[in-house]
Amino acid sequence: MKAYVLAIAGMAILTAVVTLVMPRKKFSGTIGGILKLCMILTLVGPILGFIRQDPTEFSSADSIFTQDGAYINNSYALAVERELKSRYGVTVRAEVSLAAAGGETGGASVKIYIDNFGMNAEEEHINIITQIAETVGKLLETDDVEVYDGTR
């Protein structure tokens, strides 16, 4: 909406400036008519876009949820990766699949693949894997957390 108002204001200012600068000769009527036509098209543009819109687009809520769900899952995965990097110093890849009911975390399924344990000794790997599973389970309020050692 803001862009629409700015486009109308810009067109009105352009019309005023051109009208003031334009000499009063034989092309003034033609140029003034073209500017008026541009102004009308700017005003009517959104209405034409609405009319041309595909009517089946409004009934595709499932595809919109699928796209939004993938974005939300990816956002959670990135947040989990950053949190585990800051807490444990490990590099991980996370796959998060939230519940279909509006993206609530109660039904989340999480898979964590540890790519690099950082400075942690090999004896600590099992302990870190357990801590990661508990931490992610608490963060996303789920028991369905699987952690894999991707370094082997």
Residues 26, 73, single domain; the answer is no
Residues 66, 117, single domain; the answer is yes
Considering its fold, how many domains does the chain have in total? Answer: 2
Residues 143, 113, single domain; the answer is yes
Each residue's pLDDT tens digit, 50-75: 676 655 444 444 455 556 778 888 88
Kindly indicate the confidence band of residue 1, based on its pLDDT and cuts at 50, 70 and 90: low
Here the CATH number for the domain that contains residue 111 is 3.30.300.30
Enclosing domain of residue 110: 62-149
Each residue's pLDDT tens digit, 120-146: 788 888 888 999 999 988 888 888 899
Return d(Cα 48, Cα 10) in angstroms, integer. 20
Residues 41, 72, single domain; the answer is no
- Kindly tell me the burial class for residue 64, based on how many C-beta atoms sit within 10 Å of its own C-beta (0-12, 13-18, 19 or more): exposed
